[in-house]
Amino acid sequence: MSHREPHAPAEPRQGAVMGMRGCELASECRSDRPGHGLHAMQQRLAIATPSKWLDAIVVAVDEAGFATLATLDGELRRVWHHDGFGGTLVAGDPVALHGVYGVVDGGAVQFSVADA
């Protein structure tokens, strides 16, 4: 799904999302890796598999781009997005999380996410 692009070497960090290797600003990032830009194929596959969407409520979103989502079956999922969700998601918002293709649908906008 992703094309080859140069990245700065990354230091391994336990428990940290490694998706921002070499990226400085979200607005200038052209990557389609999980948690960065939503790739057209990723979006189409998510739409084509409606049974894999999970309804959830946003519990928290922090400035580092991590969001905690509570699914309606009681599971907590932590996801990350490079842009910090652009300030569009706040605690209490209903969202849908695609459990296979890593897409969060906030209604008016969709984000590619990486599991954190």
**Is 76:57 a contact under the CB 8 Å cutoff?**
no
Residue 82 — very low, low, confident or very high, per pLDDT cuts 50/70/90?
confident
pLDDT digits (tens, 9 = 90+) for 12-28: 444 444 444 556 555 55
Please give the average per-residue pLDDT across 87-113, as a whole number. 92
The answer to the question of residue 70 being in a domain is: yes
The answer to the question of residue 64 being in a domain is: yes
Residue 116 — very low, low, confident or very high, per pLDDT cuts 50/70/90?
confident
In this prediction the pTM is 0.74
Residue 36 — very low, low, confident or very high, per pLDDT cuts 50/70/90?
confident
- Sheet with 76-80: list strands edge to edge: 110-112, 103-105, 94-98, 53-61, 66-71, 76-80, 114-115
Phi, psi dihedral angles at 44 (to 5 degrees): -65, -40
How many independent structural domains does the chain possess? 1
Token pair 């990032």 is at which residue?
Answer: 29
The answer to the question of residue 71 being in a domain is: yes
What is the predicted pLDDT for the residue at 26? 54
Residue % of the chain over a pLDDT of 70? 72
- Residue 26 has what DSSP assignment? G
Please give the average per-residue pLDDT across 56-63, as a whole number. 94
The answer to the question of residue 32 being in a domain is: no
Range of the domain at 103: 52-115
Q: What's the CATH number where 101 sits? A: 2.40.50
